[in-house]
Amino acid sequence: MQGKVCVFGSFNVDIVAKVERFPRGGESLMALGSSLGPGGKGANQATAASKAGAQVHFVAKVGKDQFSHLAADHLTRSAIHSYTLYQSESEPTGNAIIYVSQENGENMIAIYSGANTTITYSEIQKIIPELSSSDVLLVQLENNFDATHSLIKIAHELGKQVILNPAPYSAEIIPSIPFVDVITPNETEASLLSGIDISDFDTAKEAALRIARLGAKKVLITMGSRGALLLDNRQFSHIRAFPAVTVDTTGAGDAFNGALAASLAAGNSLVQAATWASAFASLAVELEGASNMPEFEQANARLRTL
């Protein structure tokens, strides 16, 4: 069964420099390579959900600049089924400067949101028909919060499953949490949401319980190579991580969230969906680039190694 996912989020142009190690303050390093391509948590998660088997409608906003042509070209050629791409008169297309360390595959990212933060209520209203025909709404925090909150509430009223990936973290999203079905922070975001420093599964459980008290129905904390911790109806489950040869972790969270949304839209349980997402994300870290996602059958094969 193929489900439909509406992904509301950012489109950024990623400017990536691969370095031997991260530079220190005031230091210049020669890059080992560089690239320019499509990115943004919204676009990456939409690509992931598509590759993970869902029919996806992606909603984003770009500027009226040369990067907007890159956005339209990428979305037209991608696996994404359909999209709504608004244009801002006042702000440029969002962009991200990314360092990827060859030392360990880790990344450092600085983002300018640009047009992503200029989405209006009337633009939100125009996508209600697409939302109405979707099974799941997936959102992140790279857009203006009033637009994100409005869409979350509309989806909740329509009875749609809502997944909130609270990244990059901001306390402004807390009023939206009671209208969300699944919240998917990583350890850093879960620590900020809960006020608990996460160092192991016990502290992650404490954090999950505190996030639940904010109104979250289901809390899914991603913990990198340790897998993920799920709190559902006051019951904890450990979602295992799949072994991977790490090349680039930049898109791991986006891969996980997109695959999670696709699996939930297909009618799977949250434990099944999170396990599938873990397998999918383990393949994503073996690829270079945040927008480079694995294929559906590759993830199925990885899942069978469980």
Looking at residue 122, which CATH number applies to its domain? 3.40.1190.20
Q: What is the pLDDT along the chain (306 residues), one digit of tens a residue?
A: 589 999 999 999 989 999 999 999 999 999 999 999 899 999 999 999 999 999 999 999 999 999 999 999 999 999 899 999 999 999 999 998 989 898 887 888 888 999 999 999 999 999 999 999 999 999 999 999 999 999 999 999 999 999 999 999 999 999 999 999 999 999 999 999 999 999 999 999 999 999 999 999 999 999 998 999 999 999 999 999 998 887 777 789 999 999 999 999 999 999 999 999 999 998 988 787 667 888 888 888 888 887
Cα–Cα distances (Å) from 27 to 21, 32, 225, in that order, read: 11, 16, 31
Q: Flag whether 101 is marked binding.
A: no
How many domains does the structure of the chain reveal? 1
Q: Flag whether 159 is marked binding.
A: no
Residue written as token pair 């637009």? 147
- Which range marks the domain in which residue 159 is found? 4-303
What is the separation of C-alpha 99 from the centre of its chain, rounded to a whole number of angstroms?
19
Q: Flag whether 232 is marked binding.
A: no
Active site residue 254: yes
At 292 the pLDDT is: 80
DSSP collapsed to 3 states, the chain: CCCEEEEECCCEEEEEEEECCCCCCCCCCCCCEEEEEEECHHHHHHHHHHHCCCEEEEEEEECCCHHHHHHHHHHHHCCCCEEEEEECCCCCCEEEEEEEECCCCCEEEEEECHHHHCCCHHHHHHCHHHHHCCCEEEECCCCCHHHHHHHHHHHHHCCCEEEECCCCCCHHHHHHHHHCCEECCEHHHHHHHHCCCCCCHHHHHHHHHHHHCCCCCEEEEECHHHCEEEEECCEEEEECCCCCCCCCCCCHHHHHHHHHHHHHHCCCCHHHHHHHHHHHHHHHCCCCCCCCCCCHHHHHHHHCCC
Q: Flag whether 41 is marked binding.
A: yes
Q: Flag whether 1 is marked binding.
A: no
At 96 the pLDDT is: 87
At 18 the pLDDT is: 94
Q: Flag whether 187 is marked binding.
A: no
Q: Flag whether 13 is marked binding.
A: yes
* Catalytic member of 135, 181, 232, 254: 254
Q: Flag whether 289 is marked binding.
A: yes
